Amino acid sequence: MNLVLLGPPGGGKGTQAKRLQEKYGLVQLSTGDMLRAAVASGSEVGRRAKAVMDAGQLVSDEIVIAIIDERLDQPDLAKGAIFDGFPRTVAQAEALDAMMERKGKKLDFAIEIRVPDAYIVERITGRFTCGKCGAGYHDTFQQPKIAGTCDSCGSSEFVRRPDDNVETVTKRLEAYHAQTAPLLPYYDKRGALKLVDGTMDIAEVTRALEAVVDSAG
Ligand code: ADP
Ligand code: ADP
Ligand code: ZN
């Protein structure tokens, strides 16, 4: 089973990908996480990506396609992948189709987690993650059970992304509507697109996504 999660920045893709990963043994492939790792490592790719990410724009297709191409060859993807934040342009979607075909894999569904723009500033500015294990939280919607302590690993070290600010959110939403929204008709035309209401609470969105996955039989 290979899934693409589509939706705006802050729409809940990463939160849900982690939950599906646990339930179905699929592997979350987040190009955002991979790019942040490249930035942290100080590599050439990381240096090129950092300014673009901080400005809320999209990193070049060439860079992200190369990252995914390499990742798809690793042996842990036997049960399948959940693409989170990739593809983000039609060129990336076409490249993914070609890569999957070449590697003998099939894309089962592209699922749109639909969240109107009006929700997004609050989602993004309240986001933080555990600095040790990467578990995701929100100031209002997903607080740790014990304040200041990660539910998953007990760490008290939390991080916020430098691009999760009000100014950059607007740019990222513009990029989503201009460059990523065309993927909805792209997948719909081949009958692969499913829609889930991303304004429900986190557990309800998970249930709706599981219903889609389970429908594949
Ligand atoms: P994305 O990966 O699409 O950018 P995230 O999964 O990181 O989005 O979610 C953005 C923020 O919103 C996080 O802080 C997360 O805890 C919170 N969040 C995710 N899904 C929901 C939801 N259904 N309702 C309320 N808050 C949510
Ligand atoms: P969010 O889901 O909150 O938008 P991501 O972690 O998916 O955040 O992405 C963060 C940033 O990384 C994006 O704003 C963009 O600059 C870059 N990025 C991530 N994935 C891609 C991609 N597939 N194509 C181009 N840029 C990407
Ligand atoms: Zn943790």
Give per-residue pLDDT as tens, 73-126: 999 998 999 999 999 999 999 999 999 999 999 999 999 999 999 999 999 999
- CA-to-CA distance for 93 and 87, rounded, in angstroms? 5
Cis omega (within 30 of 0) on the bond before 87? yes
Q: What is the pLDDT of residue 80?
A: 95
Tokens at 146, concatenated: 């014990």
What are the b/e assignments for 32-65, b being 16+ CB within 10 Å? Answer: bebbbebbeeeeebbeebbeebeebebbebebbb
- CA-to-CA distance for 133 and 139, rounded, in angstroms? 18
Per-residue pLDDT tens over the stretch 46-65: 999 999 999 999 999 999 99
End-to-end CA distance of the chain: 10
Contact 120, 148 (CB under 8 A): no
Question: pLDDT exceeding 70 applies to what percent of the chain?
Answer: 100
pLDDT above 80 for 141: yes
Q: Is the pTM of this model over 0.85?
A: yes
The ligand 2 atom at the shortest distance from the C-alpha of residue 57 is 16
Q: Answer yes or no: is the C-beta of 65 below 6 A from any ligand 2 atom.
A: no
Task: Show the ligand 1 pocket: residues with CB < 6 angstroms.
Answer: 7, 9-15, 123, 126-127, 136-138, 141-142, 198, 201-202, 205
pLDDT above 90 for 1: yes
Per-residue pLDDT tens over the stretch 154-195: 999 999 999 999 999 999 999 999 999 999 999 999 999 999
Per-residue pLDDT tens over the stretch 125-136: 999 999 999 999
- CA-to-CA distance for 25 and 213, rounded, in angstroms? 12
Q: What is the pLDDT of residue 217?
A: 66
CA of 115 to the centre of ligand 2 (A): 17
Q: Answer yes or no: is the C-beta of 26 below 6 A from any ligand 2 atom.
A: no
Which of 18, 71, 132, 161 does the annotation list as catalytic?
161
